[in-house]
Amino acid sequence: GAFASSRSIAIAKIMRRRSDARRGARSRRATVLAAMTSAACLVHSMRTRAFGARADADDALVAVGDVHGDPDAMFEALALAGVTRERGRGWWRRPGEGAGARATCVQTGDLVDRGERSIEAVDEVERLTREANAVGDEFVSLLGNHELMTLQGDHRFASRDELTALGRSELEREGVVEADKGVGLGVRAYFYAGKLKWRQTFAKGSTRGDVLREKPWAAVRGRGRCATAFSHAGLLPEHLFGRDDVDELNARGAKLLAVDEVGRDDPLLLDRGPMWTRTISMGDESEACALAAEVIRRLGVRRMVVGHTVTKSGKIETRCDGLIHMIDVGMSKAYGGSPSVWMCTESEGPMAISRDSRVPLEN
């Protein structure tokens, strides 16, 4: 009897341990599931809030930085702000959909080079521009230094893979590859054919060439809390030509681009020009702040938003107590970064939105 009793006690202890283990496993599964649900809700909430801001008649001003031949990264960034559909590449609404607020998106230049889908990036932005305009929204794509280099015939940073694929496609279209199979056309032949086709693709008078030539050099958008000046590398007082707007800069820029091959001698095209300057993003703090403050005062805005220089953190950063916002996060696969988008509404002010966070940029 004593043996049976002791055996029963041992069995009972084993059963309790197993029961406790099962409860522990269920608890851990529940904890993991709750964490996954919380993360999913965060992403959904970020997107819902972005869409809700416009649906609730709060205008949204959105900006995305350098794309560098990676349209997938661009579309992910835009989806984070709710200006493209979550599961597609179309603008966030179609004619007859949505009501109230207006969405304006500014892409700060450098669609091309480095990544292997530059031409696709240019085409997709043009499509988004048409779709946004069709519903009363706006998509503005600025000129960057890599678009400028393309128009100057400088293709050093065009993706070799994209040029090779472009050349092969062109030779196949012309029937050269099939006809000369015995010759053994190689990668070198495709690459040089691609460089020639690239020049033709962006030549003056071509559809894509004219698209690049017509891009503005700077833009001022937003009002109230969201009034902002945008440019690729930054605006200095000298770029305003004595005016309190960017109209003269854009007019002079358009004139410089209205040629077969853009030159390199005008000050606007040099190191201190709005496509190239590093003063705003990397210059001495006191100098950068003073110059930015003057431009901001003259343009009647709250801040300046720029791309061009990849931030050290890989996230959207600010300088000069929020006068300068730097949004080139190196999101292209060519840099290995992660998409982020800048967004401002009157109710929230400017925000940096990434896959896992939504961070206010100003107090």
Tens of pLDDT along the chain (363 residues) come to 544 455 445 445 545 665 565 565 555 555 544 544 444 444 444 444 444 334 445 899 999 999 999 999 999 999 999 999 866 789 998 887 766 689 999 999 999 999 999 999 999 999 999 999 999 999 999 999 999 999 999 999 999 999 999 999 998 888 776 545 544 567 888 999 999 999 999 999 999 999 999 999 999 999 999 999 999 999 999 999 999 999 999 999 999 999 998 999 999 999 999 999 999 999 999 999 999 999 999 999 999 999 999 999 999 999 999 999 999 999 999 999 899 999 999 999 999 999 999 999 998
Q: Which residue has the tokens 């060519």?
A: 334
pLDDT of residue 46: 44
DSSP 259-325: SSS--S-SGGGSTTSTTT--HHHHS-HHHHHHHHHHHHHHHT-SEEEE-SS--TTSS-EEEGGGTEE
Q: Fill in the DSSP letter of residue 163.
A: H
Rounded to whole angstroms, the Cα distance separating 227 from 239 reads 19
Cα–Cα distances (Å) from 86 to 197, 209, 249, 307, in that order, read: 34, 31, 36, 25
Cα–Cα distances (Å) from 165 to 120, 171, 175, in that order, read: 13, 10, 15
Give the tokens for residue 175: 């029937």
Strand partners, 359: 352
Q: How many helices (H) and strands (E) does the chain have?
A: 11, 11
pLDDT of residue 257: 98
pLDDT of residue 264: 95
pLDDT of residue 286: 97
Q: Fill in the DSSP letter of residue 224.
A: G
pLDDT of residue 173: 87
User: pLDDT of 159-180, one tens digit each?
Assistant: 999 999 999 999 888 877 654 5
Rounded to whole angstroms, the Cα distance separating 322 from 302 reads 9
Q: Which of 261, 26, 245 has its CA nearest to residue 149?
A: 261
Torsion-angle region of residue 233: left (phi > 0), alpha (psi -120 to 50) or beta? alpha
CA 76 remoteness from chain centre: 9
